């Protein structure tokens, strides 16, 4: 059985935080710009989220302000660092925020790779969106409804509580789990009928465009859509392979197709790719990486070799993708 990153990771596990609001267009840029302004003028970065002026600054209610902060941290648009002896965390601008907004490479999330990057940041590792990681890496039912998801996540949280993984004496309440499941489905499926929300909410959750969750029949039955993903750029797939390698298996020098398809936290799991879709992607990485990665299927094993992978900088790969595509559009 693949190892559980939730059990083995040092990341603090978080549930809820989104105030039941899925990510909306425009929120990440507003949050990044506000914190960047604070950094420039010498204010305490992130103080805007705890300030009365936040409602006027962002043009949303108090709960939505907290949700904006949550999604910005969960996607890497902002970073949070614990301060010893203090309850508050130190907020700063993060790598995804720098890429999209600081460098201006995709401030309005128009490039197809941007939504895949946000999804990868949410689901590839546990942390501020632990339920998202669990759903894409540990939950494997062919179809499901809200109640099945809720029961399975509740069971998993009980295991984590008993093992002490949630912290000494900590547990996750049933209401928290229910809110996470509701928000998870609304993040990836825009046509949900069973939730009480404004009609425009289904339009405002960008990750629904990825088509990762579909209806599986009548009623409120869903399924994860596994298979090829035409809108996923090869550069984003390469970024994910390098991130997976550096984060969890830095000493490994090769990976099989099966490992990169089925191992928890792998590109195959997070992007819901089947084995042949992963193999097709891997076969193109040798050229894309300028032979710093090597693909070999001569022995029938189909292996990706990390050859000179240390020379690849995954964020530079994305920068080059955005700049190349912007130039192509301008030509």
CATH class of the domain at 26-108: mainly alpha
Q: Which residue has the tokens 């190349």?
A: 324
Query: Taking Cα atoms as reference points, which of 24, 18, 19, 73 lies closest to residue 209?
Result: 24
Structural tokens at position 98: 């720098």
**Residue 78, strand partner residues:** 93
Q: What's the farthest any 2 CA atoms get from each other in the chain?
A: 64
Confidence of residue 199 (pLDDT cuts 50, 70, 90): very low
What DSSP assignment string belongs to 146-178?
Answer: HHHHHHHHHHHHHHHHHHTTT-TT----HHHHH
Query: Taking Cα atoms as reference points, which of 99, 153, 102 lies closest to residue 129?
Result: 153
Contacts of 215 (CB under 8 A, 6+ apart): 189, 191, 221, 222, 223
pLDDT at 197 over 60: no
b/e code 74-107 from CB counts within 10 Å (16+ = b): bbbbbbbeeeeeeeeeebbbbebbbbbbbeebbe
Average pLDDT score, the chain: 92
Q: Which residue has the tokens 């939505």?
A: 64
Starting at the edge strand found earlier in the chain, the sheet holding 303-305 runs 254-256, 303-305, 294-296
pLDDT at 299 over 90: no
pLDDT at 90 over 60: yes
Contacts of 118 (CB under 8 A, 6+ apart): 23, 75, 96, 109, 206, 207
pLDDT of residue 191: 74
pLDDT (tens digit, 9 = 90+) per residue, 48-74? 898 888 998 999 999 999 999 999 999
pTM of the model: 0.94
pLDDT at 195 over 50: no
317-320: long-range pairs with CB below 8 Å, 24+: 317/235, 317/238, 317/239, 317/242, 318/99, 318/105, 318/113, 318/117, 318/235, 318/236, 318/239, 319/99, 319/103, 319/105, 320/235
- With contact defined as beta carbons under 8 Å apart, do 90 and 75 qualify? no
**Residue 222, strand partner residues:** 144, 215
- Least confident range from 48-57, 173-182, 290-299: namely 48-57
pLDDT (tens digit, 9 = 90+) per residue, 217-248? 878 899 999 999 999 999 999 999 999 999 99
Secondary structure (3-state) at 10: coil
Mean of the pLDDT values across residues 87-100? 91
CB atoms within 10 A of CB 218: 6
Secondary structure (3-state) at 226: coil
For residues 207 and 24, give the distance between their C-alpha atoms in angstroms, rounded to a whole number: 9
Question: Could you state, in order of their start, the residue ranges of all structural domains in the chain?
Answer: 26-108, 111-225, 234-330
Structural tokens at position 22: 């899925």
């Amino acid at each position: 059985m693949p190892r559980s990153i939730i059990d083995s990771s040092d990341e603090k596990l978080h549930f809820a935080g989104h105030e039941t609001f899925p990510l909306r267009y425009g929120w990440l840029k507003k949050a990044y710009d506000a914190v960047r302004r604070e950094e420039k003028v010498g204010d305490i970065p992130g103080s805007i989220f705890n300030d009365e002026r936040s409602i006027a600054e962002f043009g949303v209610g108090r709960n939505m302000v907290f949700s904006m902060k949550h999604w910005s941290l969960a996607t890497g648009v902002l970073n949070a660092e614990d301060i010893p002896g203090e309850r508050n965390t130190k907020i700063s601008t993060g790598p995804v925020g720098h890429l999209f907004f600081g460098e201006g490479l995709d401030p309005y999330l128009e490039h197809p790779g941007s939504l895949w990057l946000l999804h990868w940041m949410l689901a590839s590792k546990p942390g501020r969106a632990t339920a998202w990681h669990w759903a894409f890496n540990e939950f494997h039912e062919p179809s499901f409804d809200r109640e099945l998801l809720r029961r399975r996540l509740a069971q998993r949280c009980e295991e984590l509580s008993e093992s002490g993984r949630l912290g000494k004496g900590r547990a996750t309440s049933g209401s928290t789990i229910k809110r996470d499941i509701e928000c998870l489905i609304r993040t990836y499926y825009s046509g949900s009928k069973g939730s009480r929300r404004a009609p425009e909410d289904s339009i405002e959750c960008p990750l629904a465009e990825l088509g990762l969750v579909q209806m599986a029949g009548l009623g409120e039955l869903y399924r994860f859509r596994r298979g090829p993903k035409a809108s996923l750029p090869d550069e984003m797939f390469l970024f994910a392979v390098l991130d997976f390698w550096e984060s969890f298996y830095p000493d490994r020098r090769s990976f099989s197709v099966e490992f990169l398809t089925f191992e928890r936290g792998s590109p195959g799991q997070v992007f819901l790719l089947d084995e042949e879709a992963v193999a097709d992607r891997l076969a193109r990485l040798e050229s894309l990486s300028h032979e710093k990665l090597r693909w070999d299927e001569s022995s029938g094993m189909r292996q990706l070799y990390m050859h000179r992978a240390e020379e690849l900088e995954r964020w530079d790969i994305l920068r080059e993708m955005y700049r190349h595509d912007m130039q192509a559009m301008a030509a």
